[in-house]
């Protein structure tokens, strides 16, 4: 089974971002400020320049965003794990201390890759680094597979190169929420995501 550990923002947070990307008025053609296609943010942290929100009207109904019900922040990607090792995964996560009450917010955005390998994402404000490190340490101690890439807390909104989406993310500041739980999720190609357990 294909597994990952994630934080799912509440519905109102996801709806607010979705409105920003699909409903708001014309952005006026403002440049995105993208520096490159390798994980750099669109705007520097703390940059609160006023930006006209949303996608240009010509894009409405044309932008292929990822499904809003799948929007999440990945803490660890395990990949394929044999079903018999699921109890080991759960025991490893049992040992994680989840910082419940941690304040988080979607703010700004960035991109990974270029051209057909582009991933556009909303950035996450909040101290998720220590939680990410703890999850990885517990998985490592249990001898479980997990990705070892540098951690950039983000929520993927599109797998496409789209200047309008980038412009809509520049200056975005969504509603804050408090962390209540993390989830172990199974990803099935034909069935979507299934939350197996939360902590």
**Sign of dihedral through CA atoms 109, 153, 116, 184?**
negative
Average pLDDT over residues 45-52: 38
pLDDT computed for residue 114 by the predictor: 74
Q: Helices 86-94 and 129-141, interaxial angle, to 10°? A: 130
Average pLDDT over residues 143-172: 90
**Percentages of the chain per state (helix, strand, coil), in multiples of 5:** 25, 30, 45
Residue 145: CA count within 13 A, CB half-sphere: 12
Write the pLDDT tens digit of every residue in 56-70.
Answer: 433 444 557 999 999
pTM for the whole structure: 0.80
């Amino acid at each position: 089974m294909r597994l990952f550990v994630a934080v799912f923002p509440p519905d109102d947070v996801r709806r607010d971002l979705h409105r920003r990307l699909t409903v708001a008025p014309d952005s006026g053609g403002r440049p995105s400020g993208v520096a490159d296609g390798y994980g750099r943010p669109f705007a520097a942290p703390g940059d609160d320049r006023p930006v006209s929100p949303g996608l240009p009207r010509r894009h409405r109904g044309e932008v292929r965003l990822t499904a809003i019900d799948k929007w999440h922040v990945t803490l660890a990607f395990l990949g394929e794990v044999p079903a018999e090792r699921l109890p080991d995964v759960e025991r490893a996560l049992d040992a994680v201390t989840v910082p419940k009450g941690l304040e988080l917010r979607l703010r700004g955005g960035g991109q990974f890759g270029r051209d057909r390998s582009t991933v556009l994402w909303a950035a996450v404000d909040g101290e998720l680094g220590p939680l990410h490190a703890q999850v990885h340490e517990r998985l490592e101690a249990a001898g479980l597979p997990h990705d070892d890439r540098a951690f950039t807390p983000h929520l993927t909104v599109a797998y496409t190169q789209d200047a309008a989406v980038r412009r809509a993310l520049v200056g975005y500041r969504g509603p804050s929420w408090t962390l209540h739980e993390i989830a172990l999720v199974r990803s099935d190609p034909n069935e979507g995501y299934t939350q197996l357990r939360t902590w």
